[in-house]
């Protein structure tokens, strides 16, 4: 992407930017999962069923997914890092609205505002990393940025349950508002340092303008015209439904089946994120030892075993280690998907990763609604186990596809 190797100062600035992006992805993912553990309380406070309360999760995911299509082209045109910074501050506004929401409808509106901002952070962050990272170490670099994402999953569950139990559910959104404000300000400051340190801003601007003039529709059509990107996007829909979607009922199942408090249930589900952190910390070794194809299959299999335990065990203490294993397995598979998404269209990386994130979170929105409704009919334990089985089959199949594709390439 650049014509000359980066200087030591440039590399240090890039590392600082990646660290700030990790904080931003942490806040974005925490905002997605903050409502999971508080669903029983929202159901009680607003006098609605669990499936209606779950709209605070599903509506967020639907808006988040749809806006990926918008942010991909916007990031390619205006600059990915700039869009991320301002979107982060927009999330502060949305969470402030949630603090003062007088009704479920008002809370849904505030969640939509947060989703509109959060939609830019993770996909454009991945695309920006794809632009600046060494291609030979792209998956490892994505794993480092993914530390924020995985910590955000568990922390969102934990904060949602803990603050709901202790101070009330509104406090959870207040904490998020402060977090987004602090990270957004730091991102804007770092953006200023990037702009002042650029050695060839004209080249960068020309590249962005060229990408922007082409337009998202043309970029999307060129990406979708290729069979491999279509395969990745279809897998992303299924992964979002079976993987992220089931997390919305995980804490509720622990609360009702094992009589855990909301804060304890949130803490146990937080181990899902901890498992992801364990994977990210060991990703470099695992990627080189297992390679992506086997990593996808192993990850899906671990999720299935863990969901069987969570869904059907009579021993409540097993829920904690099972959540940890499920997170490790899921992010083993998810990291493989992220790396393939970031590489499927390098010339329009912002739009490509946005399509991937859109597919992922549209799948999540469907998965949340289905999981909530099916759990009312068949029980949350059964639904959790079925989602694990689906993710296992998906990981094994995608691993096989990767092996066939690798063998066919010269």
Looking at residue 11, its pLDDT comes to 62
Looking at residue 400, its pLDDT comes to 94
List C-alpha distances in Å: 233 to 64, 225, 312, 365: 16, 12, 32, 15
Looking at residue 322, its pLDDT comes to 94
Tens-digit pLDDT string for the chain (410 aa): 444 445 555 566 677 888 889 899 999 989 988 888 888 889 888 888 877 888 888 888 788 877 877 887 788 788 889 999 999 999 999 999 999 999 999 999 999 999 999 989 988 888 888 787 767 677 777 877 777 877 787 688 788 888 888 888 999 999 999 999 999 999 999 888 777 766 444 444 434 444 444 566 777 788 888 888 999 999 999 999 998 778 778 888 888 888 888 778 878 887 887 898 899 888 888 888 888 899 999 999 999 999 999 999 888 899 999 999 999 999 999 989 988 888 887 777 778 888 888 788 778 878 888 888 888 888 889 999 999 999 999 999 999 999 998 887 76
Looking at residue 310, its pLDDT comes to 92
Q: Hey, what domains does the chain have and what are their CATH numbers?
A: 12-408 (1.20.1250.20)
Looking at residue 210, its pLDDT comes to 44
Question: pTM (2 decimals)?
Answer: 0.72
């Amino acid at each position: 992407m650049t014509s000359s190797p980066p200087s030591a100062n440039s590399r240090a600035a890039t590392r600082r930017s990646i660290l700030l992006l990790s904080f931003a992805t942490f806040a974005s993912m925490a905002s997605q999962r903050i409502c999971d553990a508080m669903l029983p309380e929202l159901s009680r406070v607003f006098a609605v069923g669990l499936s209606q309360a779950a709209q605070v999760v599903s509506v967020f995911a639907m808006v988040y997914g749809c806006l990926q299509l918008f942010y991909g082209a916007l990031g390619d045109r205006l600059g990915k890092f700039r869009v991320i910074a301002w979107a982060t501050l927009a999330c502060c506004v949305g969470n402030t609205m949630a603090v003062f929401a007088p009704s479920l409808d008002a809370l849904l509106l505030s969640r939509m505002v947060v989703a509109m901002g959060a939609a830019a952070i993770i996909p454009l962050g991945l695309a920006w990393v794809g632009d600046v990272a060494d291609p030979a170490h792209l998956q490892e670099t994505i794993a480092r940025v993914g530390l924020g994402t995985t910590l955000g999953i568990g922390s969102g569950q934990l904060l949602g349950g803990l603050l709901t139990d202790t101070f009330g559910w509104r406090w959870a959104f207040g904490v998020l508002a402060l977090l987004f404000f602090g990270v957004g300000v730091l991102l804007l400051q770092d953006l200023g340092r990037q702009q002042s340190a650029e050695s060839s801003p004209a080249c960068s601007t020309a590249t962005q303008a060229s990408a922007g003039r082409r337009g998202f529709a043309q970029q999307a059509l060129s990406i979708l015209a290729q069979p491999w990107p279509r395969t990745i996007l279809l897998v992303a829909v299924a992964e979002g439904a079976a993987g992220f979607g089931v997390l919305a009922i995980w804490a509720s199942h622990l609360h009702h089946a094992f009589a855990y408090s909301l804060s304890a249930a949130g803490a146990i589900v937080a181990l899902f994120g901890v498992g992801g952190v364990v994977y990210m910390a060991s990703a470099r070794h695992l990627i080189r030892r297992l390679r992506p194809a086997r990593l996808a299959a192993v990850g899906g299999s671990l999720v299935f075993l863990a969901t069987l335990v969570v869904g059907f065990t009579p021993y409540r203490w097993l829920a904690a280690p099972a959540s940890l294993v499920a997170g490790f397995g899921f992010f083993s598979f998810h990291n493989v998907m992220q790396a393939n998404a970031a590489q499927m269209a390098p010339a329009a990386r912002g739009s490509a990763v946005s399509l991937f994130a859109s597919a992922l979170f549209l799948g999540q929105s469907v998965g949340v609604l289905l999981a909530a409704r099916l759990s009312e009919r068949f029980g949350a334990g059964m639904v959790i186990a079925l989602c694990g089985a689906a993710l296992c089959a998906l990981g094994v199949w995608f691993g096989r596809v990767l092996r066939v594709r690798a063998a066919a390439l010269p």
